[in-house]
Chain A
Amino acid sequence: MKLLELKNVTKQFGGLTAVGNVSFEVEKDSIFGLIGPNGAGKTTIFNLITGIYKVTEGEILFEGIETNSMEPYRVAELGITRTFQNIRLFKKLTTYDNILTACHYNARYGLMDAILRNKRFKAEEKGLLDQAEQLMGIMGLEDRRNVVAGNLPYGLQRRLEIARALALNPKLLLLDEPAAGMNPDETARLMALIKEIRDSFKLTVLVIEHHMDLIMGVCERIVVLNFGKKLAEGTAIEVQANPKVIEAYLGEEEVVVC
């Protein structure tokens, strides 16, 4: 079943076409890759999907619902969450607080409930605390619960950002260069983690990456972008063998081809 569809999506900034007429579909429960040289428009597509940018032309459909004009928080409510290329954790808050904050969506109590400290507040708040504990456990972060997020080692920061994104019980998780700055060992562990959360959280995952071994090892289907346009699409093997893709990446120092 098609979870996410981009139809002829174009994004222009003044005279610059960041994304030009891009179309692709992401199947439910799959792990989908988005690759391309720097500046190809990958993060722009993430920003378009999550509502941070508005499309100039085209449509984005999530579970059949058009999300073009939605505010980012509405898109998150629909079930799409993400991580950022430049890690946007709540750096001054602890690991625990980062996750607990994100759990907010699973409670419904209002300001008055909080002020009056009534039964509804107490019950729902406990639910949030429990959920945060659970999530920390699953993501292996409990021993760092009181560490300020900005002080975590880089790899754990990325993992925390993923944990935070998972707190909303999303249907689609967007990961923007999750392996950036990681060594091969960490990358392998990340690959296992992505597969594991896809299975246990019943998610669909869309990944932007430059680490070819991660992309090829994890992604079932891949779209290649170059200069904002779709260059190729297919399985890992198909894309790797595609001469146009090879040409686009020639001289690209960040590609680590196994």
Chain B
Amino acid sequence: MDWFYVKGILILSGINLMAVLGLSLLTGFTGLFSFGHAGFMAIGAYVTAMGTMKLGLPFIPALLLGAAGAAVVSFFIGRLTLNLKGDYFCIATLGFGEAIRLILDNVQYFGGARGWPGLPVVTNLTTVVIVDVIGVVILANIIRSRHGRNFKAIREEEMASQTIGINVFRYKMAALMISAAYAGVAGGMLAHLLGFIQPKMFQFIKSTELTITVIFGGLGSISGSVIGALVLTSLPELLRTFASWRLVVYGAAVVFIMISRPQGLMGGTEITFTNIKKLFSRFFRASGEKAGGGGR
């Protein structure tokens, strides 16, 4: 296995990670499920491409523009849909995700269904890693603050959250916009990795992959999302030799996870120094008891 191949997988994982991180805030921490985030990736991709191709911007500012574009669109979508109940919000995101893709299919300025080729290929491993690290730090800092606690409260008990003074709508909107921005950055990075974008790349199946990754890593866990994104992006690539059977296994695996370990890999906990220390101390305490020959 040569480094070039591995690098490619790492870059792809890193790009997916960005989108998964954003979705993790919305789904894992705030409890809102979206099946349309591929749509935000698409917006990010196309707006970033506009930045580099039509406005001559350097890559990073173009990425920020892409993120902003996705966030703005999410604002309008949020205004319309965040008041809907659980299932219906889900369905609405599905609708918007597909609508965005279908609209892009029909806008000839961006190349329509045939896509937009010739984008500068500037995404490299360094950029992706830096962007990801920044993304993780921002998310972690948000979560470990009163705002993070408020997001979690909304996920747990929306009505009670209201009665302790949390402006639920505003927080949901914030979660949606941040998650859209992250997806937008991911889309922009993807566009400038492939040098080419097509609405077909941002279908419903992509949105569900993102949500499945968040669940696989464990709702409410940033480290879970990181590991989830790495594993679920690289595994299919490594199993490419099995071609279509890998998707069969993927589908079966999804069902299997849901029925056996729905709390995902991390089950809502994080990999932090404190937790690692606790894990070690529990482990040593247990073996210490055994060695000492003492029972309780």
Contacts and interface: CB of A to CB of B under 8 A. Distances in A.
Contacts of B163: 50, 52, 72-73, 75-76, 81-82, 165
Interface string B98-109: 000000000000
A150 to B, nearest CB: 10
A174 to B, nearest CB: 9
Interface in B133-165: 138, 141-142, 144-150, 152-153, 156-157, 159-160, 162-165
A76 B156 contact: no
Contact of A93 (B146, B156, B166): B156
B174 interface: yes
Given A82-B163, A101-B152, A167-B164, A114 B157 contact: no
B147 A76 contact: no
A77 B141 contact: no
Given A73-B165, A167-B164, 9 more contacts: A71-B169, A73-B163, A73-B166, A82-B163, A89-B160, A104-B166, A109-B146, A111-B174, A165-B163
A236 to B, nearest CB: 28
B141 A84 contact: no
7 contacts: A51-B162, A73-B166, A89-B157, A90-B153, A92-B156, A101-B150, A114-B142
Interface string A173-189: 00000000000000000
Contacts of B146: 101, 103-104, 107, 109, 114, 125, 128
A91 interface: yes
Interface string B197-214: 000000000000000000
Interface string B160-186: 101111111100001000000000000
Nearest to A75: B163
B164 A76 contact: yes
A117 B168 CA distance: 24
A89 to B, nearest CB: 7
Contacts of B145: 109, 114, 121, 125
Contacts of B160: 84, 88-90
Interface centre among B141, B147, B156, B160 (most CB of A within 10 A): B160
A133 to B, nearest CB: 16
A102 B164 contact: yes
A9 interface: no
A90 B157 contact: yes
A164 interface: yes
Counting chain B residues whose Cβ lies within 8 A of the other chain, the interface size class is: 20 to 34
Interface in A157-210: 164-165, 167-168
B147 A114 contact: yes
A76 B150 contact: no
Contacts of B149: 97, 100-101, 104
Interface residues of A, number: 39
Contacts of A104: 146, 149-150, 164-166
Contacts of A81: 163-165
Contact of A115 (B138, B159, B168): B138
Nearest to B220: A92
A71 B164 contact: no
Contacts of B156: 90-93
Query: Lowest 5 A-B CB distances belong to which pairs?
Result: A114-B145, A72-B162, A76-B165, A88-B160, A104-B146
A73 B142 contact: no
B165 to A, nearest CB: 4
Nearest to B159: A88
A104 B167 CA distance: 12
Contacts of B142: 111, 114-115
B167 A52 contact: no
A73 B146 CA distance: 16
A104 B189 CA distance: 36
A137 B168 CA distance: 29
Contact of B165 (A52, A105, A117): A105
A216 B296 CA distance: 49
Contacts of B147: 111, 114
Contacts of A109: 145-146
Interface in A34-76: 50-52, 71-73, 75-76
Contacts of A76: 162-165
Nearest to A82: B163
B164 A165 contact: yes
A71 B150 contact: no
